[in-house]
Amino acid sequence: MEASFTEGEFYQQHFDPRAYIDNFYSSPEGHADENFLIFVLDSLSKTFSAGRYKGQTLIEVGNGPTIHSVLSACEHFQEIVLSDFTDDSRQEVEKWLRNEEGAFNWKPVIQYVCHMEKRSPSEVEAKVRQRVKQVLKCDVRLENPFHPQTLKPADCVITCLCLEAACRDMLEYKKALAHITTLLRPAGVLVMVGVLEQSFYFVNQTRFSCLQLSKENIEAELQGLGFTIQELNFLPSPKPENNNVSDYKAIFHLVALKSDKK
């Protein structure tokens, strides 16, 4: 019998954020079985380092216990909002933002990004800590994911490895994508990182579900919401038959512009 889909409440009870970042983000190479973190860091650097996408506010939806996805972007946005469903993941991020003893060591990842971009790691750390203004609870299943708060529309929304883990079927995915795109101003930029054809992943011994997405699914849903895709890049799984932590077939990085019509 197929296991039931692991929704937000399961994450709240069973997701171990420190095990997750220890396993997948301790170095730029990521997990030995996954090997896609460098692709993600390189892709986000190319998206943001040119300075084409910039503005006042950036919102990341469902960043979990991580901060890697705003390292390149922090130079170009004055205010950053991070968010996640689970209390423990938000606390892990806040511990790093406050530079508390025992916080996760993001230095290897930060140094990798800074080496690419010829920036100072200490300055980037300071800038992220200064520009992240809020770490909020977020539920993409809600029409307003930040209910009861209402945020002003942002210039950029990032979401990485979130929607496919939060949505049990394509109807929920379509609704969640519509919900997060309402957080974006007209002509704003949406940056997504996700996995294709993945049905599960493990954090230590705990199995989490994933909605199996195709390239066509994602393109169709975004075009239906009035987005114009600027970039869509893929990295196939190098050795899916030997991967013990997930069954993803490829990871994607996408940049899309929202229609300028209100």
Question: Domains of the chain by range and CATH?
Answer: 8-257 (3.40.50.150)
Please check if 155 is assigned to a binding site.
no
Predicted TM-score of the model (pTM): 0.96
CB 262 within 8 A of CB 226: no
What's the rounded mean pLDDT across residues 75-87? Answer: 97
Amino acid 240: pLDDT? 66
| pLDDT band per the 50, 70, 90 thresholds, residue 82 | very high
Q: Which amino acid is at 82?
A: L
- Flag whether pLDDT at 11 surpasses 70: yes
With CA atoms as reference, report the closest residue to 69 among 31, 43, 95: 43
Please check if 84 is assigned to a binding site.
yes
pLDDT digits (tens, 9 = 90+) for 108-126: 999 999 999 999 999 999 9
Please check if 260 is assigned to a binding site.
no
Amino acid 1: pLDDT? 35
Please check if 33 is assigned to a binding site.
no
Mean pLDDT of the chain: 95
Side-chain-facing half-sphere of 183: CA atoms under 13 Å: 30
Amino acid 154: pLDDT? 98
